[in-house]
Amino acid sequence: MAKTPNSSPDPRIVGNGGETHQTASSAQLRLTTNHGVAVSDNQNSLKAGSRGPTLLEDFVLREKIQHFDHERIPERIVHARGSAAHGYFELTESLADYTTARILTEVGKKTELFTRFSTVAGGAGSVDTPRDVRGFAVKMYTSEGNWDLVGNNIPVFFIQDAIKFPDLIHSVKMEADKGYPQAASAHDTFWDFIGLMPETTHMIMWAMSDRGIPRSLRMIEGFGVNTFRLLNAEGEATFVKFHWRPKLGTQSTSWDEAVKIAGADPDFHRRDLYEAIDNGDFPEWDFGVQLLSQDQADALPFDILDATKLIPEEQHPIRIVGRMVLDRNPDNYFAATEQVAFLPTNIVPGIDFSEDPLLQGRLFSYQDTQLSRLGTVNFHQLPINQAKGCPFQNFQRDGQMQTQVHTGRANYEPNSLSEAGEDGGPREDPKGGFRSFTLPLEETKVRLRAESFADHYSQARLFFRSQTAPEQAHLASAIVFELSKVELDHVRNRVLGNLQNVDDALAKRVAEGLGVDLPKASEPASAPFDMDVSPALRIIGKYPDTLQGRAVGILVSDGADGTVVDAVKAAAEGEGATVKIVAPKIGGVTLKGGKRLKADGQLAGTPSVMFDAVAIVLSEAGCAELLKEGAAVDFAKDAFGHLKAIGFTPEAQPLLDKAGVEPDAGVIDVSADTKAWLAPAATRQWDREPKVRMLA
Ligand code: HDE
């Protein structure tokens, strides 16, 4: 209840006169200032007279406004837009032969964790579905300290050496003079950098593939990207690559769909993750490792320390040894998702870094960036960052926002205060403490790129040639789209020159898609070679088709047949999908027979891009009405264009005709058989694509 300004009967009495708003009862906490003084009136500032001016003395007002003024902290320079959840890690198979890390040796033990997904280029307020890499950062609160596996949904990276990271990010962010485009790589500066840095080509293949436009954060793979080491009790090292595999499989949107989702629901991924967890559909990933001995690493045709390369899993299989379940949404977005500080340096005994020069730079950057973002060396004391699996204790003291109250005299080590009965504080643990791999080194100090890093194209070729035909077409079309936004001819041409080293046919398709001549191929630093194709690099066909975790929309009208609606809903839910009823009005519709059906979404605000498959169940009169509604026509047209299964009742045929929906295996009359619609609903209709889109 709002209180009217100064509702006191006596205008001289300033404060809580009218009692028309809620005040603290004995059962309720009193509103106070940050320093604990109870506030008598939270509606009116302290003024000289009822009509002002406001008095400087009003510490309640000043504190409140000042706190508000400082509510925002600097957003992350990359990965600013994120969505996160709590959950747990559970080990299913011990890696005791390779590591002493308890989280990787104690089978069955559940370790609390916090996972944050993100886009890279856009600001914190940007949309969820641009073409971009997705961050996949997991903080595990292990019993030996926090282990942060700060990865991406793509297993390789753009650059080989950390010194190029600021250049890469400057090039992809909004252009320095213009301040746009936001959250988009389709502009001159990005492609200028890409063309000039051929080592980016492999990652470009991934980013331009459908991996760059995922359907859901629950449906992305995760990769540690950099090579790490596991260390066993004997101090022996094994190289390791970390993998997360979604139980729901991978799935992507089409570009047109991603663009439309951005308008329909800028929070599409964040909402999807939140709602799934809220509904008890906990997203889950298998955790896997690729393990390589030094000899196996030496036998690879590339350098295991080069983060622009992957290790084909057909050659070195992924061992699934655990799982991650996300089962709890954060209570407060800022406290958890914004303040969480991931550090690749958060590592536990039994795991170690490799000499990967990209990783080595990361080991400095994250700690440093938290200081400007969170403002103090004590950011590890924030609840979300605290080591929860074990206590932390050392002699680091004071600093801004110190929340610990250290007692005693001992704040240095060694000390002998315990000999006098005082608390001497903690001591190092030579046996159980973190130890680095004893890497033999005898090197000259140089600023050089290893020759073993010189091949920039073989794995880009491997990726492109491993894709299915529709995926290759999407990839080529994505490059055409992006290069069409490039204004400088020489920038575009340099990329085309490089693409010829990947695959001639790809370069030709892109040039044709752009309507330009193919320039001369660029000279590769090292001649690319052919590798055996790797089906594991595909999205299509890699995981079984499923409706599990997918969303189905049923568009209904007044007079629609409720038995069909119920049957379609039950069938889809039976396969694990969530179903939403979409109606012209949010109040719902009156079904044939007079029963009311409530809507979950109003048509204009719930287009078919929000769903993986749709059904359109209308009455004749309802259909006639909807023929005049552009949003209804678009609902069907987009579902068809985005290769989704469309279930329909014959009364909806005029709408399908107007939307240009042609009969095919994914357009199914559900009045007769809802089951027949389920199989196509669990996938996209790839055969339809040439009918609806001119791809490169
Ligand atoms: Fe990051 N990266 N990065 N990065 N990165 C950051 O740290 C950096 C790289 C990744 O949800 C920043 O806390 C450098 C690779 C994720 O909070 C910053 C280099 C991979 C997140 C930073 C890389 C990543 C970040 C910005 C090249 C995949 C978001 C905010 C040497 C393995 C974590 C922050 C979250 C965030 C630096 C390259 C993943 C600036 C210097 C490769 C998922 O420190």
Element (H, E) at 474: helix 469-484
Q: Work out the average pLDDT over 319-333.
A: 98
Q: Work out the average pLDDT over 273-301.
A: 98
pLDDT at 12 over 60: no
In the chain, the N- to C-terminal Cα span, in Å, equals: 60
Examine the domain organization and report whether 268 and 376 are in the same domain: yes
Examine the domain organization and report whether 87 and 234 are in the same domain: yes
Coil, strand or helix at 51 = coil
- The ipTM, to two decimals, is 0.98
What CATH number does residue 143 fall under? 2.40.180.10
Q: Which two tokens stand for residue 475?
A: 């990839």
Examine the domain organization and report whether 12 and 50 are in the same domain: yes
Q: Which of 348, 381, 414 is where one domain is finished? A: 381
pLDDT at 325 over 50: yes
Average pLDDT, the chain: 95
Length of the chain: 696
* Binding-site annotation: residue ranges: 76, 116, 165, 362, 366, 373
Task: Give the sign of the dihedral formed by CA 81, CA 83, CA 88, CA 92.
Answer: negative
Examine the domain organization and report whether 17 and 62 are in the same domain: yes
pTM of the model: 0.95
150-168 tens-digit pLDDT: 999 999 999 999 999 999 9
How many Å apart are CA 557 and CA 636, to the nearest integer?
Answer: 14
433-481 tens-digit pLDDT: 999 999 999 999 999 999 999 999 999 999 999 999 999 999 999 999 9
**Greatest extent of the chain over all pairs of C-alpha atoms, in Å:** 93
Q: Which residue has the tokens 């990783």?
A: 359
Examine the domain organization and report whether 175 and 137 are in the same domain: yes
How many Å apart are CA 608 and CA 377, to the nearest integer?
Answer: 48
Q: Write down the catalytic residue from 6, 16, 44, 79.
A: 79
How many Å apart are CA 145 and CA 149, to the nearest integer?
Answer: 13
Say what the pLDDT of residue 1 is.
32
How many Å apart are CA 156 and CA 307, to the nearest integer?
Answer: 6
539-557 tens-digit pLDDT: 999 999 999 999 999 999 9
Beta bridge partners of 112: 88
Helix axes 268-278, 255-264, angle to 10 degrees: 80
How many Å apart are CA 222 and CA 135, to the nearest integer?
Answer: 8
315-319, 328-332, 388-392: range with lowest mean pLDDT: 388-392
Give a three-class secondary structure readout of 158-199.
CCCCHHHHHHHHHHHCCCCCCCCCCCCCCCHHHHHHHHHCHH
The pairing of beta strand 551-556 with beta strand 613-617: parallel
Examine the domain organization and report whether 228 and 113 are in the same domain: yes
The total number of structural domains that make up the chain? 3
pLDDT at 349 over 80: yes
Q: Which residues of 59-83 are buried (b: 16+ CB within 10 A; e: fewer)?
A: ebbbebeeeeeeeeeeebebbbbbb
How many Å apart are CA 547 and CA 218, to the nearest integer?
Answer: 13
Residue 218 lies in a domain: yes
Examine the domain organization and report whether 99 and 179 are in the same domain: yes
Q: Give the distance from CA 208 to its chain's centroid.
A: 16
Residue 665 lies in a domain: yes
Q: Which two tokens stand for residue 139?
A: 């903080």
Residue 222 lies in a domain: yes
Query: Is 79 annotated as catalytic?
Result: yes
Nearest to 554 by CA among 537, 572, 540: 572
What CATH number does residue 594 fall under? 3.40.50.880
How many Å apart are CA 630 and CA 637, to the nearest integer?
Answer: 10
Examine the domain organization and report whether 54 and 108 are in the same domain: no
Say what the pLDDT of residue 519 is.
97
233-259 tens-digit pLDDT: 999 999 999 999 999 999 999 999 999
Say what the pLDDT of residue 8 is.
42
pLDDT range class, residue 11, cuts 50, 70, 90: very low
pLDDT range class, residue 494, cuts 50, 70, 90: very high
pLDDT at 19 over 60: no
623-638 tens-digit pLDDT: 999 999 999 999 999 9
How many Å apart are CA 59 and CA 633, to the nearest integer?
Answer: 58
Examine the domain organization and report whether 183 and 103 are in the same domain: yes
* Binding-site annotation: residue ranges for heme: 76, 116, 165, 362, 366, 373
Examine the domain organization and report whether 89 and 27 are in the same domain: no
- Contacts of 491 by beta carbon, 8 Å cutoff, 6+ apart: 188, 191, 192, 195
Nearest to 149 by CA among 157, 141, 161: 141
Residue 66 lies in a domain: yes
Residue 446 lies in a domain: no
- How far does the centroid of ligand 1 lie from the alpha carbon of residue 451, in Å? 26
Q: Write down the catalytic residue from 152, 153, 329, 385.
A: 152
Let me know if 446 is exposed, middle or buried by CB neighbors in 10 A (0-12, 13-18, 19+): exposed
pLDDT range class, residue 3, cuts 50, 70, 90: very low
181-237 tens-digit pLDDT: 999 999 999 999 999 999 999 999 999 999 999 999 999 999 999 999 999 999 999
Q: Work out the average pLDDT over 635-661.
A: 98
Q: Which residues line ligand 1 (CB under 6 A)?
A: 76-79, 82, 116, 118, 135, 137, 150-152, 157, 162, 165, 225-226, 307, 340-342, 358, 361-362, 365-366, 369
What CATH number does residue 38 fall under? 4.10.91.20
Q: Which two tokens stand for residue 386?
A: 């605290």
Q: Which two tokens stand for residue 30?
A: 């009193």
Nearest to 192 by CA among 508, 551, 550, 489: 489
Ligand 1: atom nearest CA of 369 is 44
Say what the pLDDT of residue 496 is.
98
Q: Which residue has the tokens 């957003």?
A: 75
Ligand 1: atom nearest CA of 225 is 32
Say what the pLDDT of residue 430 is.
93
Which residue range is the domain that position 571 belongs to? 551-692
Taking residue 521's Cβ as centre, other Cβ atoms within 10 Å add up to 14
Residue 455 lies in a domain: no
pLDDT at 692 over 90: yes
Query: Is 16 annotated as catalytic?
Result: no
Say what the pLDDT of residue 17 is.
40
Residue owning the nearest CA to atom 39 of ligand 1: 151
Examine the domain organization and report whether 56 and 99 are in the same domain: no
Nearest to 196 by CA among 516, 456, 447: 456
Say what the pLDDT of residue 646 is.
98
Q: Which two tokens stand for residue 254?
A: 């089409």
pLDDT at 506 over 90: yes
Residue 291 lies in a domain: yes
- Contacts of 674 by beta carbon, 8 Å cutoff, 6+ apart: 564, 567, 568, 571, 647
- How far does the centroid of ligand 1 lie from the alpha carbon of residue 366, in Å? 7
Residue 140 lies in a domain: yes
Residue owning the nearest CA to atom 14 of ligand 1: 362
Say what the pLDDT of residue 26 is.
62
Long-range contacts of 422-428 (CB under 8 A, 24+ apart): 425/393, 425/395, 426/393, 426/394, 426/395
Ligand 1: atom nearest CA of 82 is 11
- How far does the centroid of ligand 1 lie from the alpha carbon of residue 658, in Å? 48
State which of 362, 369, 373, 385 you would mutate to test the pocket of ligand 1, scoring each by most atoms of that ligand within 8 A of its C-beta.
Answer: 362
pLDDT range class, residue 23, cuts 50, 70, 90: confident
48-74 tens-digit pLDDT: 999 999 999 999 999 999 999 999 999
Q: Which of 381, 396, 414 is where one domain is finished? A: 381
Q: Which residues of 159-170 are buried (b: 16+ CB within 10 A; e: fewer)?
A: bbbbebbeebee
Q: Which of 363, 381, 399 is where one domain is finished? A: 381
Q: Work out the average pLDDT over 129-158.
A: 98
Examine the domain organization and report whether 45 and 99 are in the same domain: no
